[in-house]
Amino acid sequence: MSEAAAAFDALAAEFFPVWFRYHPEAAAVAGVSGYAGLLTAQADDEIAALESWLEALVVALEELDYRGLDPGRRIDLRLMFGAARAEHQALLERDWRHRDPLRFLPIEGLYRAALDASDPEREGLVALLAGLPSHLRGAAGQLRTLAELVCPPLVEAAVEQTDRARCYLRELVASPWLRQQTGSRLGRIAGLADAACAALTVYGELLRSEIAPRASGAPGCGERHLRLLLRHRQFLDPDPPSAHAVLSTAAERTAAEVDELAARLGTTAAGVQSFLDGCLVPAAARLETYRGEAERLRTFLVESALVSPPAAPLQLRERCACPRPPRMGCDYLAGDDSGSLYLDGAGDEPLAALRARVRRGTWGGAHLLAFAGAERARRLPRRLCAGASLERAWGLYLDDRLAEAGYLEPEDRLCALLARQHALRLGLLDLDLHLGCAHAEAVAQVGRGELLVLLRRPGEALAGVLGWDALTRARALCAAAGLDQKTFHDRLVAEGRIPVPLVLEFVLGRERWWNIAARWSVDGRATG
């Protein structure tokens, strides 16, 4: 091992334990144990310490011998540097504590702590419940100081979420599942849950009576902050007018494709969703249908030489009997050496939607991105990075390739085109929203939950559709250079769910990537 590699590994070994103490929810998402009982840092001294530590980390990473690292560590270094730089600047310029009341509600952490089979005593759940009242009192103090910065839709969503959180905790404590898991410890958990519910009630009332009347923050983060996030988290630097023009053209082309295919199927663009919802898979047959569709997809990927499915096992399961918070995602979860796609287990499901979920969550989607690169893809910098430009883009891109190869039925292709159309709409709104020029009609076209994601995760939807555009153009370059489709695709997914610019730079080389990015970048170059 080189001296530069040893120095980088030492920094990484220091980075993640410290960072997880400030971001325990990220540890839960990455499947890292030891942080389940912690709440997100919010006190002034904690944030000041985090700012200082991030600044020191950025300096240390800048001083490393980049050329002395192997390609894998170069990617990891750039991901760590980008994450640290983006968070440091964001804390200095846009401290989330004064803007996002939803960040103080650890509902996903409570759910994951309840599920954690490696913690039979449920100590993580106990610690979260015990710490929640003081955590919410601290949140109240933070929000009161600068309530004018809070965006009104975030206040409304937080009020709704506090009500849902109380309902969820009561449902969890009353569930036979938790009683079976905790036995005699349930009484203590129930007492702590009651205190947490009382604290949530007080927090919700604060939001209604004190924060909501004063909340007047802009819905977008502004061009400067958007570019900061895109540059350091997604390795993109699009010029807004150019990117808008490219995506608008793609949206028009996609709408024409939807109209044409809908007409062939005997319906209209306005009636396509009802048309797709007409073919339902009964709830009793869903698990069997999912397994059959997943195996059919895996077989096709192999036989068509489209991409190599990973060797890691994949399980399709009914969701655990543990009560689940409303709007909780995490349908696919990657373990250390296998992945699981969990089904909701409620109601019938349209066949086209079922097949789309199989493509996104199994051998062609989430499971592929999690395990195609084996150990490389499972490194922490890659599991934690904001790889939305690949994660979102790959699904759209793969649907195009599957349609081209004849795998998709007409109904499935129509469903895929609708997904692309919706992704382009979100990408354009993401751009307009944070530049402060979004039209009310465009905002009204997206659901409330999707709007909240756009507000809280600026640039990710935009990065996803720019990534799809880049992958489509990169494929044409590779075909012209004689690189076969399977090799290209295997290289794309071999490094995990890292941002598309990094993927293409390492697949195509920096100059070719710059040529792709030139159509919607300021100077035609990737950043980082």
Query: For the ranges 194-208, 218-232, 384-398, which has the lowest average pLDDT?
Result: 384-398
Q: Is the dihedral of CA 370, 226, 43, 160 positive or negative?
A: negative
Residue 425: how many other CB atoms lie within 10 Å: 20
Residue 527 lies in a domain: no
What would you report as the CA-atom Rg of the chain, rounded to the nearest whole angstrom?
23
> Quick one: average pLDDT of 426-450?
92
Q: Is 319 or 151 the better-scoring residue by pLDDT? A: 151
Is the CB of residue 33 less than 8 Å from the CB of residue 20?
no
Are 88 and 150 in the same domain?
Answer: yes
Question: What is the pLDDT at residue 522?
Answer: 60
Higher pLDDT, 28 or 268: 268
Phi and psi at residue 12, in whole multiples of 5°?
A: -65, -40
Q: Specify the pLDDT at position 189.
A: 95
Is residue 298 located within the same domain as residue 167? no
Contact assessment for residue 392 and residue 467, using Cβ atoms and an 8 Å cutoff: yes
H or E segment to which residue 190 belongs: helix 186-206
Are residues 408 and 450 located together in one domain of the fold? yes
Cα–Cα nearest to 173, from 198, 195, 196, 190: 190
Q: What pLDDT sits at residue 105? A: 93
The verdict on 246 and 115 lying in the same domain is no
- The Cα 231–Cα 386 span in angstroms is 11
- Look at 12 and 388; give whichever has higher pLDDT: 12
Q: Which residues contact 475 (CB under 8 A, 6 or more apart)?
A: 397, 485, 488
What is the predicted pLDDT for the residue at 524?
A: 46
Residue 495 three-state SS: coil
SS3 280: strand
What does the pLDDT average to over 258-264? Answer: 94
Contact residues for 278 (Cβ-Cβ < 8 A; gap 6+): 350
Residue 526 confidence (pLDDT) above 80: no
| Residue 523: pLDDT over 60 | no
Residues 334 and 291 in one domain: yes
203 and 268 in a single domain? The answer is: no
- Amino acid at site 262: A
pLDDT of residue 121: 87
Q: pLDDT averaged over the chain?
A: 90
Asked if residue 8 is part of any domain, the answer here is yes
Q: What is the DSSP letter of 98?
A: G
| Cβ proximity of 502 and 78 under 8 Å | yes
Local confidence band at 331 (pLDDT 50, 70, 90 cut-offs): confident
Q: What is the pLDDT of residue 327?
A: 63
Structure tokens at 118: 């490696």
Percent of the chain surpassing pLDDT 90: 67
Give yes or no for a contact between 202 and 84, defined as CB atoms under 8 angstroms apart. no
Pairing of strands 339-343, 332-334: antiparallel
Final residue belonging to a domain, choices 220, 251, 282 = 220
In this predicted structure, the answer to whether residue 326 has a pLDDT above a threshold of 70 is yes
Looking at residue 279, its amino acid is C
Any residues with CB less than 8 A from the CB of 253 and at least 6 apart, and which?
Answer: none
Q: Are strands 332-334 and 280-281 parallel, antiparallel or unpaired?
A: unpaired
Position 436 in a domain: yes
- On whether the CB atoms of residues 104 and 139 are closer than 8 A, the answer is yes
Please check whether residue 522 lies inside any domain of the structure.
no
User: Which of 187-191, 225-229, 494-498 is the least confident region?
Assistant: 494-498
Categorize the per-residue pLDDT at 330 as very low, low, confident or very high, splitting at 50, 70 and 90: low
Average pLDDT over residues 362-368: 93
What is the CA 38 to chain-centroid distance, rounded? 21
Report which of residues 223 and 525 the model is more confident about: 223
User: What pLDDT score does 386 carry?
Assistant: 63
CB 394 within 8 A of CB 471: yes
Buried b (16+ CB within 10 A) or exposed e, 357-392: bbbbbbbbbbbbbbbbbeebbbbbbbbbbbbbbbbb
Residue 173's pLDDT band, with cuts at 50, 70 and 90, is: very high
Task: Read off the pLDDT of each residue in 11-32 and give the average, rounded to a whole number.
Answer: 87
Residue 433 in any domain: the answer is: yes
Give pLDDT, residue 139: 96
527 has pLDDT over 70: no
Which residues, 6 or more positions from 440, have their beta carbon under 8 angstroms from its beta carbon? none
Q: How high is the pLDDT of residue 337?
A: 86
**71-93 and 44-62 helices, crossing angle to 10°:** 140
Query: CB under 8 Å to 404, separation ≥6 — which residues?
Result: none
State phi, psi for 333 to the nearest 5 degrees: -125, 130
Residue 98's nearest CA partner among 149, 137, 132 is: 149
Q: Cα–Cα distances in Å, from 31 out to 34, 87, 221, 435? A: 10, 22, 30, 35
Nearest to 332 by CA among 304, 298, 297, 367: 367
Is the model's pLDDT at 528 over the cut of 60? no
d(CA 383, CA 377): 7
The more confidently predicted of residues 21 and 380 is 21
The helix (run of H) or strand (run of E) holding residue 281 is: strand 280-281
Report the C-alpha gap between 419 and 408 in whole angstroms: 14
Overall average pLDDT of the 174-179 stretch? 94
Strands 349-350 and 339-343, sheet pairing: unpaired
**Longest CA pairwise span in the chain (Å):** 67
- Asked whether residue 525 is assigned to any structural domain, the reply reads no
> Is 524 contained in some domain?
no
Same domain, residue pair 368 and 442:
yes
88-116: average pLDDT: 90
- Is 232 found in the same domain as 132? no
The residue among 174, 196, 220 that closes a domain is: 220
* Residues 293 and 409 occupy one common structural domain: yes
Other C-beta atoms within 10 Å of 344: how many? 12
pLDDT in tens, 288-298: 999 999 999 99
- Give mean pLDDT, residues 32-56: 91
37 lies in which domain range? 3-220
Is the model more confident about 521 or about 308? 308
| Cα–Cα distance for residue pair 8/83, rounded to 1 Å | 15
Last residue of a domain, one of 199, 220, 241: 220
The answer on 215 and 178 residing in a single domain is yes
Compare 525 and 186 and report the one with higher pLDDT. Answer: 186
Identify the band that residue 387 occupies on the pLDDT scale cut at 50, 70 and 90. low
Q: Rounded CA gap, 1 and 25, in Å?
A: 33
Taking 90 as the threshold, does the pLDDT of residue 468 lie above it? yes
528, part of any domain: no
155 shares its domain with 93: yes
pTM of the full predicted structure? 0.93
For residue 397, give the nearest of 504, 243, 291, 522 by alpha carbon.
504
Terminal Cα-to-Cα distance of the chain (whole angstroms): 25
Q: Are residues 334 and 461 in the same domain?
A: yes
- pLDDT given for residue 225 in this prediction: 94
Domain count for the chain: 2
